[in-house]
């Protein structure tokens, strides 16, 4: 084996938290297992100043749209998840990101590229096809069930998916069976460590050691959190609540000013979420792929209070249909869920926890890291096969839009 370290490049986005968190989990897992033999770099191509403004601004636009016009977002998501609109979007992304992707490949000279965001695969493959470049490309899908077809670029070397349902979607959209592997969504490897001593963790966090404990995860993107917590606060049975407000200062101030009748531990942004999850008995959150996956990895029942139309609807259905949690839309439903979980000494909560353990995949990051490492060992190879028709179409697309494509071989 050569002494030169393998270079692993992970491409991500900050549209929501899940893509970046999955990337961080992969980096941690790779360094824990192969740190002496590799370097791992995480980049967000949308931060590159050469990326067109409409894409650089898309992350913040995503947040505003799902907050202020979720039904419009749902319509756009579903309308674009069809063959012709998806092809148009892919061509647009090739034009917008071709130069940025090419520069990243030439600058970092990676042995493998990992993408945790669906916008990058088409532009990368176009660059590879036209420039005699063959860097292994691994895609890591970060939603559990409802996955947009743009994730599935048939030219990738490996597609790591969270569930059998998503694997079937990948095959339906042209990927070959041998290129699709079910690993789960990568979560912090710390969640896969030995079983937690909840009493010790709660003492470390300053929580009550012997009370049923609910962890609520809030942010600018979560609706109905305050009204849900109001029901928990007045539920009447002994319990405690820990709440994270993320970077939402207004939410943090509202929570701090509340008249709490139960032990309440209020936080802004935290960097010890794995410990907090391991110390809790259940979680209250939106149906984001990251938080749902982390909760299941910890065996936590989930009370879902908000769903972004489109990709998060499948996450909700996965949790509810497997008996690992409930979806609540009204205060009365919150009360009903709490009553069901807490009656008879918490038997309902225990059953939901068992179901969460059953479908959780705490080892996902480690499994994905092993596959990525194998791709890195393979490293850049010979020119990928490309049909004359595809080559002609790509050249025509780029030249008509005055984008330089002939960069020469790596």
pLDDT recorded at residue 30: 97
Please state, in angstroms and rounded to a whole number, the distance separating the CA atoms of residues 210 and 253: 28
Residues 367 and 390 in one domain: yes
pLDDT recorded at residue 86: 64
pLDDT recorded at residue 308: 80
Q: Last residue of a domain, which of 342, 359, 376?
A: 359
pLDDT recorded at residue 210: 93
Please state, in angstroms and rounded to a whole number, the distance separating the CA atoms of residues 113 and 155: 13
Distance of CA 400 to the CA centre of its chain: 35
Residues 177 and 36 in one domain: yes
246's torsion region: left (phi>0), alpha (psi -120 to 50) or beta?
Answer: left
The closest of 13, 40, 164 to 111, measured between CA atoms, is 40
Domain membership flag for residue 160: yes
CB of 159 within 8 A of CB of 177?
A: no
Domain membership flag for residue 408: no
Residues 165 and 271 in one domain: no
Please state, in angstroms and rounded to a whole number, the distance separating the CA atoms of residues 182 and 364: 9
Residues 271 and 390 in one domain: no
Residues 214 and 139 in one domain: no
On average, the pLDDT of the chain sits at 86
Residues 226 and 372 in one domain: no
> Could you identify the residue written with the tokens 């004359």?
388
pLDDT recorded at residue 51: 85
Residue that wins the pLDDT comparison between 380 and 248: 248
Please state, in angstroms and rounded to a whole number, the distance separating the CA atoms of residues 98 and 402: 12
pLDDT recorded at residue 335: 95
Residues 281 and 249 in one domain: yes
Residues 97-111: pLDDT tens digits?
A: 888 999 999 999 999
For residue 261, what are the contacts with CB-CB under 8 A and spacing of at least 6? 233, 234
Angle ∠(383,170,168) on CA atoms, nearest 5: 145
Domain membership flag for residue 409: no
Residues 18 and 139 in one domain: yes
Q: Three-state DSSP class for 133?
A: coil
Instruction: Kindly state the average pLDDT of the residues 367-376.
Output: 96
Domain membership flag for residue 406: no
pLDDT recorded at residue 408: 46
CB of 73 within 8 A of CB of 221?
A: no
Q: CB neighbours (10 Å) of residue 245?
A: 25
Please state, in angstroms and rounded to a whole number, the distance separating the CA atoms of residues 250 and 90: 38
349 lies in which domain range? 195-359
Residues 346 and 202 in one domain: yes
Instruction: Kindly state the average pLDDT of the residues 133-155.
Output: 87
Instruction: Kindly state the average pLDDT of the residues 257-262.
Output: 95
Looking at the DSSP bridge assignments, the partners of residue 213 are 240
> Over 60: is that where the pLDDT of 266 sits?
yes
Residues 253 and 201 in one domain: yes
pLDDT recorded at residue 73: 45
Residues 154-176: pLDDT tens digits?
A: 889 999 999 999 999 999 999 99
Residues 352 and 371 in one domain: no
We report the CATH number of the domain holding residue 11 as: 3.40.50.2000
Residues 42 and 127 in one domain: yes
Domain count, the chain: 2
Q: CB neighbours (10 Å) of residue 4?
A: 8
Residue that wins the pLDDT comparison between 330 and 54: 330
Q: Alpha-carbon dihedral of residues 168, 174, 178, 180, nearest 10 degrees?
A: -50
């Amino acid at each position: 084996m050569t002494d030169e370290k393998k270079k692993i490049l992970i491409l991500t986005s900050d549209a929501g938290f899940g893509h970046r968190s999955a990337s961080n989990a992969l980096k941690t897992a790779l360094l824990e297992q192969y740190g002496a033999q590799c370097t791992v770099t995480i980049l967000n191509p949308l931060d590159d100043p050469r990326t067109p403004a409409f894409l650089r601004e898309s992350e913040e636009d995503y947040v505003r749209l799902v907050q202020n016009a979720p039904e419009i977002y749902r319509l756009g998501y579903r309308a674009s998840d069809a063959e012709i609109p998806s092809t148009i979007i892919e061509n647009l992304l090739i034009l917008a990101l071709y130069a940025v992707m090419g520069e990243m490949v030439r600058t970092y000279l990676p042995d493998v590229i990992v993408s945790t965001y669906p916008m990058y695969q088409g532009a990368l493959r176009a660059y590879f096809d036209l420039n005699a470049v063959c860097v292994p490309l691994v895609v890591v899908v970060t939603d559990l069930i409802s996955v947009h077809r743009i994730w599935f670029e048939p030219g990738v070397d490996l597609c790591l998916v969270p569930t059998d349902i998503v694997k079937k979607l990948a095959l339906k959209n042209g990927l070959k069976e041998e290129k699709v592997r079910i690993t789960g969504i990568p979560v912090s490897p710390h969640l896969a460590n030995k079983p937690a001593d909840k009493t010790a963790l709660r003492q470390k966090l300053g929580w009550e050691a012997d009370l049923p404990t609910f962890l609520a995860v809030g942010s600018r993107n979560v609706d109905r959190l305050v009204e849900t917590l109001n029901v928990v606060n007045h539920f009447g049975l002994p319990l405690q609540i820990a709440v994270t407000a993320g970077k939402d200062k207004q939410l943090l101030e509202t929570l701090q000013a509340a008249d709490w009748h139960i032990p309440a531990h209020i936080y802004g942004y935290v960097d010890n979420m794995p410990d907090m999850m391991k110390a809790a008995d259940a979680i209250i959150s939106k149906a984001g792929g990251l938080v749902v996956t982390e909760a299941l990895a910890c065996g936590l029942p989930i009370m879902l209070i908000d769903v972004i139309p489109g990709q998060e609807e499948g996450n909700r259905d996965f949790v509810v249909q497997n008996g690992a949690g409930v979806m609540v839309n009204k205060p009365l439903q919150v009360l009903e869920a709490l009553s069901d979980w807490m009656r008879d000494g918490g038997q309902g909560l225990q059953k939901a926890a068992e179901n969460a353990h059953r479908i959780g995949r705490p080892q996902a990051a480690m499994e994905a890291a092993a596959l990525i490492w194998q791709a890195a060992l393979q490293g850049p190879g010979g020119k990928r096969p490309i049909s004359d028709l595809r080559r002609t179409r790509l050249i025509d697309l780029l030249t008509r839009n005055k984008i330089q494509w002939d960069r020469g071989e790596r």
